[in-house]
Structure 1
Amino acid sequence: MGPLVISAAERAERRKQVEKRLQNEGMNGAVIFSPTSIFYLVGFHFIPTERPMALILKDGTATLYVPRLEHEHAEKVSDADAVRSYPEYPSEVHPLRRFADLLRELGLASVNIGVDADGYASSWGYRGPRLSQVMPEAKITPGLGQWIEEMRMCKSDAELALIRESCRWGNLAHVLLQRYSVAGAREIDISMRATAEATSAMIDTLGPIYRSAGSATSSAGFRGQIGANSALPHAVTINATLKPGDTLVTGAGADIYGYHSELERTMFVGEPNQEQRRFFDYMLLAQDLAISLIRPGIPCSAVEREMQRFYQENGITQYTRHHTGHNIGLQGHEMPFLDLGDETILAPGMLFTIEPGFYVEGLGGFRHSDTIVVTENGSESLTYYPRDLDSLICG
């Protein structure tokens, strides 16, 4: 068995799709700044620091523009036909001005260039001019980023194989998380132990076929959703100590060549009380309903509309905080979304997290999340951790 990766041939086909669309839209080339899109198209994963990087597509050729410190790295791991580099940021000549000179050299002066953004952006202290400022003679046309995001909506067989592998190791991490979730244990200790052991087992098992493009872990944790704090859907770690009666909302997954899955469960430290059982039952019914609704040919909004009807009929709308789910893959959240405002038609190969949740102040949060793929006739769950209440009592 070869490495768990996306083949160069598959990435080449992706680039062909982008270039075909460029031609159809009357564009002469493309500039891509997004690290995720660059990885998707040429297999180069990098840390987006203050040093700008970009990918140029023109006439079937891919050129990477990187800082000097990334030059050998880009040549070694990417599918780029050429790698061009600049000395450093900010340097005496700003890297984006050097980039404009490279575009002119490649024949992209005074033409229509499709871009995903009008310049590089990073939260690591980057400052610089817009691409349109350093290339005033060219027509800079935005929108390319959304095209690539749309390409990523339906996963190929190779992508699904990586996500299935992610599900396996996320499952192991969650098994360990639940095993160590006992009263008196600390949140961070439990998470670190489960993550370290699951990651070690993953690396030992997969050995040389494993490739990362990010965190290189199989992880599980609570992210602060412990006890009453679990009523905050996106809480942050609070270093809580587990107590009898706590509601726990968990999360687990694994990075397999940059691809991710999502497994979340609602658990309890010891026997849950009547109210905890009541909201757990509502949550499980809601997730069952959402999964049953997933099938090709319907808009995302239709799923959420049925979910809202379920909440209203049961008088629990006030406990909801978010839509039913989102696509997932190279990023934790990808388009489309199971939301009233998303009319994207479900199609085979689309992935969704199915995660309706209820959040009750003072009591806790109640949310499972499973990674589901749309099939020709319905859907298939790629995650398989137990969902029933009795299986999720800890300690």
Structure 2
Amino acid sequence: MILEIPKSEIKERQKKFMNTLDENGLDACILFSTTDIFYLTNFMFRPSERPIAFFIDTNNESHLFVPSLEHLHAENYAVIDYVHSYPEYPGEVHPMNILKELLKANKLNNAAVGFDADGYSSPKGYSGPLISDLLSFKKTLSIKGWVEKQRYIKSDNEIQLIKESARWGNLAHNLLVEYSKAGSREMEIEGRATHEATRIMFKTLGHGYKPYGNPAHAFYRGQIGPHSTFPHSQNQNAQLERGFNVVSQAACDVWGYKSELERTMFIEEASNEQEMYFNHMYEAQEVAFRTIKPGISASEVEKEVQKYFKDNGLQHLVRHHTGHNMGLLNHEAPFFDLGDHTILEPGMVFSVEPGIYVDGLGAFRHSDTIAVTESGMEMITYYPRDFDSLII
């Protein structure tokens, strides 16, 4: 069991990314994506109105540009060559003007530079100039999505962290089921299950565990009874009733890495109609499992699932694609979607979650986390999926 990514692997990530820059004729880069910065430096921080940036100079040395309140934090945790900071935002001198001088001092203005965005952005009150308004470069190229593409294929360490996430998500889900009784309300159930799962997790893993996100938790997100037909509902503090179908969710972050577990369940009993739709959802997921293997496109998986729905006259009840990659974010590219032709490779980690939504009745959706292997796929989540086990 591991609970973190070793520094040696972070350095390997940086080296691989530098090679990609070089292969594309770039001398340097500037990144503002908080997820990509964590991936490349191991520095997890809370983004705010204060700008932050990562850049690689023409000597392949790495730099972090942070507000002064993060300086010591970065020095202690980041796998980085240099940490630079500025006093405060907006400050007497805007931080982006300080970054401009730093980039000039490291000769990026005379280089071919890739950047993921033309400046920092934040919904928390930030405003500031664009990089292109501050500085001219020898050449520029958008590299938005390049680090995300590098994140497509997970290392053995990353997959171990995702598996650890799934273990604790499974515990939280078990507790959610234990407390899900007719007459109970959503927030009470979720609160009890999440609190107990988190307590057990901390007690078991000790001080070495760092979530860099949320520890073990389970919830319904409002998908209770007829209201579950809204795939991305929000908590309604709904009351469970006998005969309701519910869509549960459980997850856990381990060093920022995530898994996804969702189940369609029934409170005490289910009708023949509910069982019918459940079985179709179950079979659609089985179609995806049988199709997933390296060397095919992500769109091929979706094509087979949609064929099953069409053959059974259910396509009008489908509201989303079959799944998505995941890792440091709960939704990452590529996607099991008709428009995504990315070729599957061993080490990719996906959710598989075809859904059926029947107005007035409810939703039918399982979600399981899987890893693409050399010969097919490996199931990472493991809570029971069959109909009889999910009448609670």
Question: Which TM-score band (shorter chain)?
Answer: over 0.9
The question of whether the paired residues in 1 share the 8 Å contact of 2:108 and 2:137 is answered with: no
4+ aligned runs moved over 6 Å, structure 1: none
Structure 1: distance between partners of 2:176 and 2:105: 55
* CA distance, structure 2, for counterparts of residue 369 and residue 137 of structure 1: 46
Between the aligned partners of 1:379 and 1:72, the Cα distance in structure 2 is: 42
**2:253 corresponds to:** 255
Output aligned runs, 1:102-121, within 5 Å: 102-121=102-121
Q: What is the correspondence of 1:146-161 to structure 2 with a 5 Å cutoff? A: 146-161=145-160
Tell me which residue corresponds to 1:66.
Answer: 66
Whole-Å separation in 2 of the counterparts to 1:209 and 1:90: 36
Q: 1:319 aligns with which of 317, 320, 323?
A: 317
How far 1:138 moved relative to its partner? 4.8
Shift of 1:212: 2.2
- Taking the aligned partners of 1:138 and 1:53, their CA distance within structure 2 comes to 23
Q: Give the counterpart letter for 2:16 in structure 1.
A: Q
Q: State whether structure 2 residue 187 is matched by structure 1 residue 188.
A: yes
Contact kept in structure 2, 1:132 and 1:138, CA below 8 Å:
no
Is 1:360 matched up with 2:352?
Answer: no
C-alpha distance in 1 between matches for 2:349 and 2:16: 21
Question: Quick one: distance in 2 between partners of 1:314 and 1:212?
Answer: 42
Shift of 1:137: 4.5
Q: Deviations over 1:299-326 (max 9, x none)?
A: 0111111111111110000000011100
> How much has 1:185 moved relative to structure 2?
0.7
- Displacement of 1:146 in angstroms is 1.4
Counterpart mapping for 1:37-76 below 5 A: 37-58=36-57, 59-76=59-76
Aligned residue for 1:69, secondary structure, equals helix
Q: How does 1:73-88 map to 2 (within 5 A)?
A: 73-88=73-88
CA contact (8 A) 1:29 1:113 kept: yes
Q: What is the count of residue pairs matched by the alignment? A: 391
How far has the Cα of 1:260 moved from its partner? 0.1
Matched with 1:35 is: 34
Distance 2:171 2:385 in 1: 15
Q: CA RMSD in A?
A: 1.0
Out of 263, 285, 296, which is 1:265 matched to? Answer: 263
Give the 3-state SS of the residue equivalent to 2:287 in structure 1. Answer: helix
Give me the whole-angstrom Cα distance separating, in 2, the residues matched to 1:313 and 1:214: 41
In the other structure, the counterpart of 1:24 is 23
Q: Within 5 Å, which residues of 2 pair with 1:214-363?
A: 214-215=213-214, 217-363=215-361
Quote the residue 2:14 is aligned against: 15
Return the alpha-carbon distance in structure 1 between the equivalents of residues 217 and 135 of structure 2.
44
Show the counterpart of 2:124.
124
Work out the CA distance in 2 between the residues paired with 1:134 and 1:110.
14
Deviation at 1:295, TM superposition (A): 0.4
Other structure's SS at 2:56 match: strand
Tell me the secondary structure at the aligned position of residue 154 of structure 1.
Answer: coil
CA distance in structure 2 between the aligned counterparts of 1:332 and 1:368, rounded to whole angstroms: 16
Match of 1:391 in 2: 389
Q: Is the 8 A contact 2:53 2:65 kept in 1?
A: yes
Displacement of 1:17 after TM fit? Answer: 1.1
CA distance in structure 1 between the aligned counterparts of 2:84 and 2:324, rounded to whole angstroms: 37
* Partners of 1:21 and 1:288 in 2: CA distance: 37
State how far apart, in whole Å, the 2-side matches of 1:247 and 1:85 are: 52
Conserved 8 A contact 1:132-1:140:
no
Please name the residue that 1:376 is paired with.
374
Q: Deviations along 1:115-142, whole A, 9 cap, x unmatched?
A: 1111111110111111111113453321
Deviations 1:183-239, CA, capped at 9 Å, x for gaps? 111101111111111111111111132122122x10100000001010111001111
Structure 2: tracts of 5 or more residues without a match: none
Please report the TM-score for the alignment, with normalisation by the length of structure 2: 0.98
Deviation at 1:327, TM superposition (A): 0.4
Alignment partners' CA distance in 2, 1:125 and 1:166: 33
Q: Does the 8 Å contact 2:285/2:305 carry over to 1? A: no
How far does the alpha carbon of each residue in 1:336-356 deviate from its partner, in whole angstroms, 9 at most, with x for none?
Answer: 100100110011001110100
In structure 1, give the amino acid aligned to 2:136: P
Distance 2:233 2:117 in 1: 31
Which one-letter code corresponds to 1:342 in the other structure?
D
Give me the identity figure in percent: 51
Please say if residues 62 and 82 of structure 2, whose CA atoms lie closer than 8 Å, have aligned partners that are also in contact: yes
Structure 1's unaligned 5+ residue stretches are none
* Residues 260 and 330 in structure 1, CA contact (< 8 A), matched pair in contact too: yes
